Chains A and B, each alone.
Chain A
């Protein structure tokens, strides 16, 4: 009886008795969630256009951030470093298309997946060889001061991160929906052969997608890098994006956003209100539990296309 009380009653009593603190937890969760969404977005883009689950997205985040931070440490001004880092991500996209995707075209998905694991190790190793394996401090000049609003204590940087993330997501959604290239991207995602037959060059499309995923990786790298320093563990946030994808669906941009927000809020709330019951640290595995539940009841995710096989 006491256990049930502690699980089902007391946490809610806490929430209602201190609504401002609860709101602070939720907002904090939302802000972290946007950052998860940013990483998940990179996965969705590539999965949509080439059907490849790009395990290397995390490594791309790390590589982009390392390049940026490395250039800045060499005295390059921020704006120039950003442009160069974006350019480097385009070059990475071209090389991946030429050396990995093209030779493996028409291979089973699992082969391409393995290839992206290869890319992961290469990017991590190469990044460290060039820029060293120390923890780099990254500061691109986004203001970072705590402030209070309506009794909630928030961080200015988190708000910026959320705003930039939201702008990016909105921009990409419009790009996919309303432009010629966006339409070509959706076409390639649906059917490679048919896309070729109407004259859409796969090669160009793949380079575009991987470049855009590279840009998204760069932005995610800046956000996470500023928060926790640019270091090897940055590539592990790719793993945090997995439950987000399972929740949101692998093919849905809105799904990546909503999934990220749910996971962000969910793990913060769970940690604070239910964590103490079992000694804390729920935050680390809560997302995966949630993903598991989704896999059982709604494997296509919240917004994913329903998998219907016609026989």
Chain B
């Protein structure tokens, strides 16, 4: 599969990142690269620093050391909404949707940065502002079709089952037409059927829109099927990096997941 897709140059380069909270080290000297159009998985046992890594890339956390290069530009300190402007969209481990709003409105918020009209226009809903809203609405409807959630378009997302909420969250991230899509455990807490659907959507997104995807996942089976490239973290350090088959056979990885026999 990998051979048939044209994976491009490095899109995101994380170089020697260290992050600590007070005295607790979350990440120690981790470097990794995500290349254009690939699906890169970051895996590791609980507390390995996977979500911290995502939060660093996305600008929620500011690492004490290291640099991040995104799309050829080095950035030292990043704010989340600036990351979003730069083309990084994400989903959250514990779904973070706007629960009081409809599916449609939730996904529309993903278009927020694509809206060109200035602030004062945005405060009303007539004339050019209305026209623009309708254009974005069209795009959002395409995403809704793509994710097969037409039936719940007007439902407040707080009432949806968990699996569908995750799908809406993916839709919101896609609405931003991101260069890099970060998924934090997109399959957590799902049943087999929902997992299969989600896998399909992730692969289709990658195929159809050529979106680069970085994902965190626990389910090893899923990871091995989906990704072009796997990074394994353990206790905040990188212990393996490579194609799925190589990583699967790596002794360090097996030890980290299964534990090492003590002498």
A residues lining the B interface (CB < 8 Å): 174-175, 178-181, 183-184, 186-187, 189-191, 193-202, 204, 305
Contact = CB atoms under 8 A, between A and B. Distances in A.
A199 B125 contact: no
B113 A199 contact: yes
A184 B105 CA distance: 10
Contacts of B110: 198
Given A184-B109, A199-B81, 14 more contacts: A179-B124, A183-B105, A186-B100, A189-B100, A190-B97, A190-B98, A193-B60, A194-B96, A195-B98, A197-B58, A197-B90, A197-B92, A198-B84, A199-B112
Contacts of B122: 179-181
B163 to A, nearest CB: 15
B136 to A, nearest CB: 9
Contact of B81 (A179, A186, A196): A196
B108 interface: yes
B37 interface: no
Interface string B88-105: 011010001111110001
10 closest Cβ pairs, A-B complex: A199-B84, A190-B98, A194-B96, A196-B80, A180-B122, A199-B113, A178-B125, A187-B98, A199-B81, A187-B109
Contacts of A201: 81
Q: Which of A189, A191, A196, A197 lies at the interface centre, i.e. has the most chain B CB atoms within 10 A of its CB?
A: A197
7 contacts: A180-B117, A198-B109, A198-B110, A198-B173, A199-B81, A200-B109, A305-B100
Contact of A191 (B98, B117, B119, B129): B98
A180 B115 contact: yes
Contacts of A193: 60, 80, 92, 96
B112 A200 contact: yes
A180 B113 CA distance: 11
A179 B115 CA distance: 12
Kindly state the interface size class of chain B when it binds its partner.
20 to 34
Given A181-B119, A184-B109, A197 B98 contact: no
B123 A194 contact: no
Contacts of A198: 84, 89, 109-110, 112-113, 172-173, 176
B85 interface: yes
B154 to A, nearest CB: 13
Contacts of B101: 183, 186-187, 190
Interface string B47-85: 000000000001010000000000000000000110011
Interface string B186-224: 000000000000000000000000000000000000000
Contacts of B129: 179-180
Contacts of B112: 180, 184, 198-200
Contacts of A183: 101, 105, 108-109
A201 B173 CA distance: 16
Contacts of B96: 191, 193-194, 197
